[in-house]
Amino acid sequence: MVSTILQIILGLGFIMFGLMKFRSKQMVEGFKHYGYSAGFRIFTGTVEIVAAVLLITGIWNGTLAAIGSFLVVATMIGAIFTHLKIQDKLKDMMMPIILFVLGALVLILNYSSLLG
């Protein structure tokens, strides 16, 4: 039950975050500030949307939930390192840290489905 709730929250959030990478002026400017290309911004948005779809469909299939949560964890590790690279304050890193923890929790709860 906990995993399902987290999957819905993360799934809906990452659909929104992923779509923002395609359309949001704030995201375009943010990725420029971080030193990343438009192509990487689009790639990141695509990965986030794929992760969201896997998390939501993973409600019925633990393997998909585990793969989706792995993508969330990997993406948030990248986001955290990006914030460290540009020497952001801790308060500016809190969202990726929280999403990392939630993604890791979903991964832990669904890890056994990867093992068969």
The number of distinct structural domains making up the chain is: 1
Residue 115 pLDDT? 87
Whole-model pTM: value is: 0.93
Torsion of CA 105, 108, 114, 115, to 10 degrees: 180
The pLDDT tens digits of the residues spanning 26-83 come to 999 999 999 999 999 999 999 999 999 999 999 999 999 999 999 999 999 999 999 9
Residue 112 scores a pLDDT above 90: yes
Residue 116 scores a pLDDT above 80: no
**Residue of 7, 1, 5 lying closest to 58 (CA atoms):** 7
Domain with 74 in it: 2-114
Q: What is the DSSP letter of 18?
A: H
In which band, very low, low, confident or very high, does the pLDDT at 114 lie, cut at 50, 70 and 90?
confident
